[in-house]
Homo-oligomer: A and B are copies of this chain.
Amino acid sequence: MALIGILGGMGPLATVDFFERVIQLTSAAGATCDQEHLPLLVANLPHIPDRSKAMLKSGADPLPALLAGIDMLNRNEVDLIAIPCNSAHYWYDAMRARSRAPILHIAEACVAAIARGTRRAAVLATGGTLAAGLYQKILERHDIEPLVPSGPTQQHIDACIDAVKAGDLDASAAELAAALAEFAARGAEAAVMGCTEIPLAARRIATPPMMLIDSTLELARVTVSYGMTRGWNMRS
């Protein structure tokens, strides 16, 4: 039996969101009963040290805990790994080098979903992900100009993420709307939500001023497509 490993818990609600989207996308692709869904092993490991703080050199190194999670999934003989946390992808190369199973890349999946013809895309992410240039590099490779937040805009984004982690979705949506208004004024035609907490806030905004690309959803799409193409949803 094939098995898809999920390295999660960063944060736990984002992992639930990713898990739910995988199930919904599998149903949308035709699964009509339990037995037509994809086998998943979800390692929800919330104790992994804060990724954003570490990227800003102000916190413990999460790499040993990330590699322990990768090892756990490989010990269970998973055939593919998805990691629903953007910041964790700062350590992508080290995890990929350690893993027998291939690891999908959340930012590659997200940028691939931006509409053709887009010239300028805002990057909504943690300070750490922004400082590491995770999305900027991939956007530039696709000839899209990355717009990074000003200091005051980043304060709204950080407040949005913190509110989601604390379970206050109304507050999170207000902070996100403020950040989007500033990016709209700067000519952004799309915004990549490069943090798995942000899409939970975005669902409370009925009409965003630009196209929002949800990294969690796009990673889920690639995960389901990978598994369904190989028939992993059917008992072998």
Contacts and interface: CB of A to CB of B under 8 A. Distances in A.
Given A44-B42, A72-B76, A37 B12 contact: yes
B42 A46 contact: no
A118 interface: no
Interface in A7-35: 9-13, 15-16, 19-20, 23-24, 26-28, 32-35
Contact of A12 (B32, B34, B45, B76): B34
A33 B165 contact: yes
A38 interface: yes
A45 to B, nearest CB: 6
Given A19-B19, A24-B167, A76-B72, A39 B47 contact: yes
Given A9-B39, A43-B41, A166-B27, A48 B34 contact: yes
Contact of A42 (B1, B24, B33, B41): B41
A40 interface: yes
A142 interface: no
Nearest to A46: B37
A11 B16 CA distance: 15
Pick from A34, A41, A43, A46 the residue with the most CB of B within 10 Å: A34
A49 B52 CA distance: 42
Contacts of A61: none
B45 A42 contact: no
B39 A44 contact: yes
Contacts of A44: 19, 37-42
A145 interface: no
10 nearest CB pairs, A to B: A37-B46, A42-B42, A40-B44, A11-B34, A34-B46, A27-B167, A12-B23, A16-B20, A47-B235, A12-B37
15 contacts: A10-B34, A12-B26, A12-B34, A15-B19, A20-B20, A33-B165, A34-B48, A35-B47, A35-B50, A39-B47, A41-B41, A42-B42, A42-B44, A72-B76, A76-B76
Given A16-B19, A19-B19, A39-B47, 17 more contacts: A9-B34, A10-B34, A11-B37, A15-B19, A16-B16, A19-B42, A19-B44, A20-B20, A27-B167, A32-B166, A34-B47, A35-B50, A37-B44, A38-B46, A39-B45, A42-B42, A76-B76
